[in-house]
């Protein structure tokens, strides 16, 4: 499931393939599906009981990528970013452009032509181009158009004994865990929101929250993990293999304290490993969901992803398994959500 999801392309603005896949997967298992005009999928899962508070689980279906900004006279594509990037990761990467999946390579001028200064600095996106093997603007325009989105080419692959590398793990991990929960019987009713445009300002989630009007929302995400050489322990954010990460606060939201206590309790009762996210960087759909309507109590649960927002994110398989378990356990216990309001 996760493999299929990661191999689909869904750069913000062109998420239809992911959307169609999800609908196809969940249709037999949910009571009602609404596809909002913006592309959000809102699914209602009927459980055995109705919980005292309305709960929504959110996962975003878009991924970071690039977009064609211009085509040069000699057939190269100039591009801009969709979502946030570390420019250092882009050079020499394989990409696929537009709906026709035209293959290309991100390039810059040859190293022997670069000045000393140019060699020592990070190459800005404005100096890069995508080579699709065309030799003129006219030739390139037969295959691609300005505004086409560009996705990375990176197969989902197992590496080592218990890890996976893929593109778009952010946030197909959330999508996969939510689909997996929907496929099983539920103790309590809940809404599953598969939302668009998280990477460009969490706008899809805003519409989803206005539509569902939840009291409580759990945001399912992938998050930064820099447990690698060169990072001091207190700056690592999360560690691979220590379980899904629960956020306290980041740049976008402060998780509801009592909701976090509740989730920790559920994890402990069910012997599911988890960790706290230990930096205040990053942001996600909680930003807009928590402010909608009369306010929403939010929590953020994430799979730690090394090299997030790159074509080769790496995750630990046990972390994902524990994440999937914890998501399901949380949803099966939301009848006790009254505790959060004591």
Partner 1 sequence: MINTLKNIMNIPSVSGNEEYLKEYIISEIKNYCDEYYVDNFGNLIVKINGNDETLMINTPMDESGFLITHKEENKLYFAGIGGISPKETVGKFVKAVDGEAKGIIVADKEINDELKFSDMHIEAFGEAETGDIFALENSINQLGDNIFGYALSRKAGVAVLLEAIKKSYKNNTKTLYFAFSAEDLLGFKGAKVASNVISPDYTVVITSSCEQKNLTDAKFGGGIAVRIKDNIVITNKAFRKSFTDKFDKNDIPYQLEIAEKGVFNSEAAYNAGGSQTAVLGYFVKNPDTTYECISIKDIENLVKALENL
Binding site for partner 1 (CB under 8 A): 215, 232-235, 248-249, 253-257, 276, 278-280, 290-291, 293-297
CB atoms within 10 A of CB 233: 8
Q: Which is nearer to partner 1, 77 or 245 (CB)?
A: 245
- For the bound state, the minimum distance from the C-beta of residue 204 to partner 1, rounded and expressed in Å, comes to 19
- For the bound state, the minimum distance from the C-beta of residue 263 to partner 1, rounded and expressed in Å, comes to 12
Asked if 206 contacts 40 with a C-beta cutoff of 8 angstroms, the reply is: no
Q: Which is nearer to partner 1, 149 or 298 (CB)?
A: 298
Query: SS3 sequence, the chain?
Result: CHHHHHHCCCECCCCHHHHHHHHHHHHHHCCEEEECCCCCEEEEECCCECCCCCEEEEEECCECEEEEEEECCCCCEEEEEECCCCHHHCCCCEEEECCCCEEEEEECCCHHHCCHHHHHCCCCHHHCEEECCCCCHHHHHCCCCCCCEEEECCCCEEECCCEEEECCHHHHHHHHHHHHHHCCCCCECEEEEEECCCCCCCHHHHHHHHHHCCCEEEEEEEEECCCCCCCCHHHCCCCCCCCCEECCECCCCECCHHHHHHHHHHHHHCCCCCEECCCCCCCCCHHHHCCCCCCCEEEEEEEEEECCCCCCEEEEHHHHHHHHHHHHHHHHCHHHHHHHHC
For residue 72, what are the CA distances in angstroms to 98, 168, 326? 17, 29, 50
Angle of CA points 175, 179, 180, to nearest 5°:
115
Q: Which is nearer to partner 1, 6 or 245 (CB)?
A: 245
- Catalytic: 198? yes
The residue annotated as part of the active site, out of 25, 198, 199, 221, is 198
Per-residue tokens: 208: 């989803």
- For the bound state, the minimum distance from the C-beta of residue 294 to partner 1, rounded and expressed in Å, comes to 5
Q: What is d(CA 98, CA 133) in angstroms, rounded to the nearest whole number?
A: 15
- For the bound state, the minimum distance from the C-beta of residue 248 to partner 1, rounded and expressed in Å, comes to 6
Q: Which is nearer to partner 1, 17 or 280 (CB)?
A: 280
- For the bound state, the minimum distance from the C-beta of residue 255 to partner 1, rounded and expressed in Å, comes to 8
Q: Which is nearer to partner 1, 96 or 284 (CB)?
A: 284
Q: Which is nearer to partner 1, 112 or 232 (CB)?
A: 232
- For the bound state, the minimum distance from the C-beta of residue 319 to partner 1, rounded and expressed in Å, comes to 18
Q: Which is nearer to partner 1, 255 or 333 (CB)?
A: 255
- For the bound state, the minimum distance from the C-beta of residue 325 to partner 1, rounded and expressed in Å, comes to 21
Active centre residues (catalytic): 198
């Amino acid at each position: 499931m996760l493999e299929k999801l990661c191999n689909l392309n869904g750069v913000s603005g062109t998420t239809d393939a992911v959307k169609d896949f999800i609908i196809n997967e969940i249709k037999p298992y949910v009571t009602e599906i609404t596809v909002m005009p913006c592309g959000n999928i809102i699914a209602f899962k009927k459980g055995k009981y109705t919980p005292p508070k309305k709960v929504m689980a959110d996962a975003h279906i878009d991924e970071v990528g690039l977009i064609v900004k211009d085509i040069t006279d000699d057939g190269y594509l100039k591009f801009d970013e969709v979502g946030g990037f570390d420019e250092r990761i882009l050079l020499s990467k394989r990409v696929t452009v537009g709906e026709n999946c035209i293959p290309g390579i991100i390039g810059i001028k040859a190293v022997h032509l670069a000045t000393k200064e140019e060699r020592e600095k990070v190459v800005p996106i404005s100096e890069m181009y995508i080579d699709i093997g065309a030799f003129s603007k006219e030739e390139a325009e037969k295959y691609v158009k300005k505004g086409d989105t560009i996705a990375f080419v990176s197969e989902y692959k197992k590496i080592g004994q218990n890890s996976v590398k893929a593109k778009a793990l952010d946030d197909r991990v959330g999508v996969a865990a939510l689909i997996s929960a929907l496929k099983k019987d539920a103790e309590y009713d809940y809404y599953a929101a598969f939302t668009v445009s998280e990477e460009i300002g969490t706008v899809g989630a805003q519409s989803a929250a206005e539509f569902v009007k939840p009291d409580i929302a759990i945001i399912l995400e992938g998050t930064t993990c820099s447990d690698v050489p060169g990072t001091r322990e207190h700056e690592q954010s999360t560690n691979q293999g220590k379980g899904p990460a629960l956020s306290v606060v980041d740049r976008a939201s402060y998780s509801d304290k009592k909701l976090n206590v509740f989730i920790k309790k559920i994890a402990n009762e069910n012997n599911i490993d988890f960790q706290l996210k230990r930096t205040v960087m990053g942001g996600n759909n909680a930003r807009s969901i928590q402010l909608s309507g009369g306010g929403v109590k939010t929590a953020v649960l994430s799979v730690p992803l090394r090299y997030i927002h790159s074509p080769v994110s790496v995750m630990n398989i046990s972390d994902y398994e524990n994440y999937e378990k914890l998501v399901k356990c949380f949803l099966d216990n939301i009848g006790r959500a009254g505790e959060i309001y004591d």
